[in-house]
Amino acid sequence: TGALKIIMVRFKNRYLLIEIVWNRPPSFALRDVELRTHILDSVNANFGDYGFGLLLRNIFIVYWNADTNVGIVKSSFAHFTMLWHAITLVTSIRHTPCIIRALHVGGTIRKCQKFLILYNDSQTSLAKAYRSNKLSSMLIDGDDFNIPSDL
């Protein structure tokens, strides 16, 4: 009658694939630790101590490439929307103007990696078309990979 019932709970995570778009090329190489610090500063500025306390132990930079300015940020499922909002509200890093775009939200790192491959392929073909002046003849869907339709 007094048996203890153990319930297993799986912790769900979300992975945000992000890209930093600089207003001008930075004179420094951004490290993952600095990126995490700037994200937490944005959380603190926009959501206060409550948001900072929730996300302090729930933000992990899983992958960061300083050459391409692309990374994957891991967060708990319950708080990933707050993280997403805080990331999009970052306006500068080390006094260098920038924006951080969330390219994809996935449940696994693998899904983010697959999306990144597709995104890189589309960006490469777009750059090739731009260089060969065939951009006007390409059909561009404005919803695919956040490519503006007014190019």
pLDDT for 31: 94
pLDDT for 126: 85
Pairwise CA distance, residues 100 & 85, whole Å: 10
pLDDT for 88: 93
Dihedral over alpha carbons 24, 27, 31, 34 (to 10 degrees): -80
**Whose CA is closest to 39, among 65, 66, 58, 14?**
58
Strand 13-22 versus strand 96-106 pairing type:
antiparallel
Question: pLDDT tens digits for 80-105?
Answer: 999 999 999 999 999 999 999 999 99
Strand 60-65 versus strand 70-76 pairing type:
antiparallel
Give the tokens for residue 22: 């600089």
Residues of the chain scoring pLDDT < 70 = 1-2, 134-151
Strand partners, 92: 97
